[in-house]
Amino acid sequence: MLLIAYFAILGWGILGALLFIAFTSSWPEHQNKKTSRAHDPTEDELAKPSAVASILHRFVKHKESDSEKREAFEGSQHRWAKWTTVGVWLYTLITFAIFVASLIANRISNENLVNANRAWLAPTTFLFVKSVDDPDGPVVEVHYQNVGRLPALDVNASGGIPAGRLTARTAPGWNTFPTPVDGWNVVETNMRNGCEAREPLTDRMALFPSAATDDKMELGINDIPSSKAEHQNVIDGTSMYLVVGCLVYRTFDETRRTGFCRYISKHRTGAWEIINCPTGNFAY
């Protein structure tokens, strides 16, 4: 709003200055005519032309003076019209700029208002139901919560535990970091594309904002044959499991999405852990 007020004041100030210049430039310049009192004619005055010649001379000079005044007046009118046209165009441009600025400010204000009051779904905890060493493992329980202010409607929660080959065997130690063969950027792209393809489930679950309660889903590898085939490689450290998912819901009559990514590894402590991925976590 301060930006709009600034443009308005600036526009009116410039327009006022232009109109003032145009108006003052058309003022006629008055010259004071000197008058002299009557006196006796001198020899020089007697030597001047006759009265008739003097009258004719003054008449011609008066005509020339009228013509000059008319040209000066027409010139001032032309300048006035020119500056007025410039002022009108400038005022139009400034008004348009103010209008555009107000639209942008209004849009930003609406977006901030929606983001401050909408629903936001986010994963909170990841727990092993079955470890990697379990014959039917791993199975991970993912808890998620509405951390916004309005209910999340038509929630569609989905995910899985895919497996992928690593560029090198993961060595024990806190300073090592596993890298998929395809790279973490590919993980990000695939997750976003997969999440974007999903839609809310109409007339299904609603998740209300609360700091005390959440919802959960269990993710495993039973539905992903390729993951089961990589199980021994994961144990050997040449592959790793990813815990990925997507939360799709509706708020303010708009579809919103949250993606999450964790990987399972024991290279840091020797025990299986669920660790945050460097990519694949987003919310919009």
DSSP string, 175-244: T----BTT-HHHHHHHHHHHHHT----TT---B---SS--EEEEEESTT-HHHHHTHHHHHHTSEEEEEE
Q: Dig out the tokens for 53 from the structure.
A: 């010649």
pLDDT (tens digit, 9 = 90+) per residue, 31-76?
A: 444 444 445 555 555 455 555 555 545 555 555 566 777 777 777 7
Q: Where are the domains of the chain?
A: 2-25+57-116, 119-283
> Which pLDDT score is estimated for 194?
95
pLDDT of residue 82: 80
Q: Identify the pLDDT of residue 35.
A: 42
pLDDT at 36: 43
- Give the model's pLDDT for residue 41: 54
Residues whose CB is less than 8 angstroms from the CB of residue 50 and which lie 6 or more positions away in sequence, other chains included: none
- Per-residue pLDDT, 34: 43
Q: Which residues of the chain have pLDDT under 50?
A: 2, 26-38, 46, 56
Please say whether the beta carbons of 152 and 119 come within 8 A: yes
